[in-house]
Structure 1
Amino acid sequence: MNPADTGASTVVGAVSSSAPAQTAADSRMTPGGPGYRRMSLALFLAGVATFALLYSTQALLPSISGEFGVSASEASWTVAAATGGLAVFVLPISALSERFGRRTVMTASLAVAVTVAVLVPLAPSLPALVALRAVQGAALAGLPASATAYLAEEVRPRALITAIGLFVAGNSVGGMSGRVITGWVAQEWGWRVALGVIGALAVACALAFRLLLPAPRHFTPGSLRPRVLVGTVRDHLANPLLRRLYAIGALFMTIFGGVYTVIGYRLTDEPFSLPQGVVGSIFLVYLVGTVSASTAGRLVGRLGRRGALYAAGGTTAAGLLLSLSESLSLVLLGLVLITAGFFAGHAVASSAVSRTAAKGRAQASALYQSAYYVGSSAGSTVGAVAFHAEGWGGTVAVGLVAVLGVVGITLAGTRAALVAARTA
């Protein structure tokens, strides 16, 4: 999610918002300025709640498989349904944010998601659990695209990568805490209690988010005319750079979704045979993602957008190969590298989308999020199927193919840039 070389206009909305005038742009938030800390903390907590809920069942899949008597690939649908629901609804809900406001839509989305979180632990069967998780994912669709659009409107362009990096860091903390907490709670009291605890955490984050997030100052409501929305989406999909960024986000998330959906099964089996609580603690490596996401701006400054993506892909591939070892320490090192590479690549690609879109930024971000979570659903399902068929080596093979896709797409972008430079 690397920014484009030149700053894009701050026009936002499928149909609407015009870019702020220069004086308005000067009043936007910047690190150290009024409201920036409150805004950063609020969106950080929104990211924590989103990822804690979205992936709340991932560390619990072996326990869910045991209770319902299903395979890894069947249990993985509790993850895929949530990410799939988000992928389907992120674009239409982002359109609502153009009309009713980013803060309003984010607040409503969190409210519905935490309400469903109260019901999830009560699911009587796997199909019921999957259905509730799909609804929860659809509710969470109001967060990612609306948050990046809010940042693009309210934060100065030079600070945008850092601001989005902090939001992504909140995602990593949420993903980590959700998995670590559920792992230890499930070991003592079962997976249902574990999901209830995550729901309580998300409620607290949602309340703090609403109290802390500053009211938007640069949002202009737009219409919801379908023709204009379709035209904006068509324009984004016609942009070669945006298409490449969407594909890169989907491929990175395919890797990440596959690895972390299956890793619990691998570590509870021979030769490791780790207990559920210890397996949950493995997700502490998400802290690495917090660091790599928040420092993505510096990486881009040194290597450029494409260089940063090459570095992220190479780091991820090295981690996948290390994870094939039968040594627990090397497996953990592999997970650290996979996590660092993924979050760096995600932060670079998502911020690039926000800076590239000259109009309809919320829809541009929504398309990225849709591709991203399609990748997550595909990764969790295909990774589990590959694990069932070929073991951990099958899951790693899926990840390496996705890394090759990232590198190939980035190379295509490099060639296109060289051709454009020669013809300029």
Structure 2
Amino acid sequence: MNTRVLTDDRPRAGTSAYRRIVVAMVAVAVATFAQLWSVQPVLPEMAVDLEESAARVSLTVSAATGALAGFALVWSGLGDRFGRVRVIAVSLAVATLVGCVAPWAGDLWVLVVLRAVQGAALGGVPAAAVAYLTDVLHPADAARAVGIYIAGNPLGGMGGRLVAGWAASAGGWQWGVAAGTAVGVVAWIVFVCALPRGTRSGRTRPPDGGRPRGRWRAALAVPGMVALYAQALLLMGAFMTVYNLLGFRLTGEPFGLSQAVASSLFIAYTAGMAGSAWSGRAGDRWGPHRVLAVSVVAMGGAVAVLAVPSLPVMAAGLVVFTFVFFCAHATASAWAARRAGAGRAQASSLYTLAYYMGASLLGWAGGIFYDRWGWGAALVFAGVLCATALVAGVGLRSKVEALPDVEPSLTGSGGVAGKGGIERSPKVV
């Protein structure tokens, strides 16, 4: 069989174009997650001001994450049609405008609706970002860029939470929400200025001739994909249970911390940045399945540590919990996009859907456990979610390794063409 090597002139690591693309996409992550999570540290103050329970005020988080999950699929289709960069720019602009209105909401349900609209708009970023990076960057360096982009998620989440918490301690929860929006505006400007002009379409012609049915089939039917989506759902549910309720735990007994001091503990998100960046190297060395399984086990152990009524012990547990969660998330999301081949954009959308459904539904359910039985019950709920994720991933390694040694390329370049024009790439397990 004759083969030919297809040239690939997409940006490589170390080039100016590669660095600018990565900087732009990290800014996108910061702009998105600073706004998405800005209400989380001010939930206790919001509950007091609006005279609502922990579970009900946590709906301001769940409404945004749930709407983001639902609209990620819509944004994915728009990205295929109009270009992923355009989708990212428009979604951030709309979300920022809504964020400017949200602090003026004087009623919980008005705020919940506004947050839902903002979350729906923000869905364009996770729906398009990973697929964009795998489209425009050389395949040898795309996974590294995805890891760095995902590291921008905790950077934005931490920045938004810290700024919001500190601002709320000075002027109330409204100031906190406004501060998160301000961080998003600055990051959006960096994105627009940094992105190289020649890479702004972010649109490629899929090898299936643009037929979406085949891409959705690849995103669902490839062995192991459902197990990867389950990791997103369950682990994010555990993560949001802890972070939604962390402020209530720290400002209540036995700690009694102020809003500003309690918000400072969100600096644990720096561990998430390290975990995301480290996961790519760890996956190359030990394999993604092993990294994922060890990370899930460590998450469960860290949840147990968070039950200890000691601030230093709790802080240490939170750092470990955050680090290993983002290791698991970065590993699973990159693995899902890689394994789906031609359906990688759809796989990213489905992964995003599961991830934010976990944040929305399971994070809200954690608040119910807290309201009825306290912090310990919420941690048990989070631990059960971690254990379920571990069980769901038991067969993942064997299912993925059983795949044939063929992976369709979304870009139609960068590999060795085989029979039928499908490129053969080294199997990644």
Taking structure 1 as the reference length, the TM-score comes to 0.90
Match in the other structure for 1:282: 265
Provide the residue aligned with 2:424 in structure 1. Answer: none
For residue 128 of structure 2, the aligned residue among 124, 146, 155 is 146
Q: Which residue of 2 aligns with 1:160?
A: 142
1:206 aligns with 2:185: no
Q: CA RMSD in A?
A: 2.0
Asked if the contact 1:99/1:222 (under 8 Å) is kept, the reply is no
Q: Return the letter of the residue paired with 1:331.
A: M
Does structure 1 conserve the Cα–Cα contact (< 8 Å) formed by 2:85 and 2:200? no
Aligned to 1:89: 71
Give 1:251's aligned residue. Answer: 234
Asked whether the equivalents of residues 48 and 205 of structure 1 are also in contact (C-alpha less than 8 Å), the reply is yes
**Match of residue 315 from structure 1:** 298
Matched, 1:402 2:400: no
Give the Cα separation in 1 of the matches to 2:401 and 2:137. Answer: 32
- In the other structure, the counterpart of 1:271 is 254
2 CA distance for matches of 1:241 and 1:296? 19
- Where relative contact order (Cα < 8 A, 6+ residues apart) is larger, the structure is 1
Which residue of the partner structure matches residue 192 of structure 1? 174
After TM superposition, the structure 1 = structure 2 runs for residues 25-424 of structure 1, keeping only pairs within 5 Å, are: 26-214=8-196, 215-216=198-199, 219-220=202-203, 228-416=211-399
Distance change (3 Å), C-alpha of 1:138 and 1:217: closer
2:298–2:324 contact (8 Å) kept in structure 1: yes
Kindly tell me: are residues 220 and 140 of structure 1, through their superposed partners in 2, closer, same or farther at Cα, counting changes over 3 Å?
Answer: closer
Note if contact 1:52-1:174 (Cα within 8 Å) is conserved in structure 2: yes
Instruction: Quote the residue 1:10 is aligned against.
Output: none
Alpha-carbon contact 2:336-2:348 (below 8 Å) kept: yes
3-state SS of paired residue (2:395) = helix
Secondary structure of the residue aligned to 1:282 is helix
1:302 CA drift (Å)? 2.6
Structure 1, unaligned stretches of length 5 or more? 1-20
Distance 1:418 1:102, change over 3 A: closer
Q: Which amino acid aligns with 2:367?
A: A
TM-score, scaled to structure 2: 0.89
Q: Deviations over 1:141-188 (max 9, x none)?
A: 100121101111112222222111111111101110111111111111
The Cα offsets for residues 184-235 of structure 1, whole Å up to 9 and x where unpaired, read as: 1111111111211221111111121012112328854569xxx943553244
Matched residue type, 1:58: Q
What percentage of aligned pairs have identical amino acids?
38
Question: Is contact 1:319–1:337 with CA below 8 Å preserved after alignment?
Answer: yes
Between the aligned partners of 1:341 and 1:398, the Cα distance in structure 2 is: 18
Aligned length: 398
Runs of 4+ in 1 over 2 A off after TM superposition: 21-26, 214-223, 227-235, 414-421
What residue ranges of structure 2 are gaps of 5+ in the alignment? 405-429
Contact 2:134/2:143 (<8 A) preserved: no
The equivalent residue for 1:11 is none
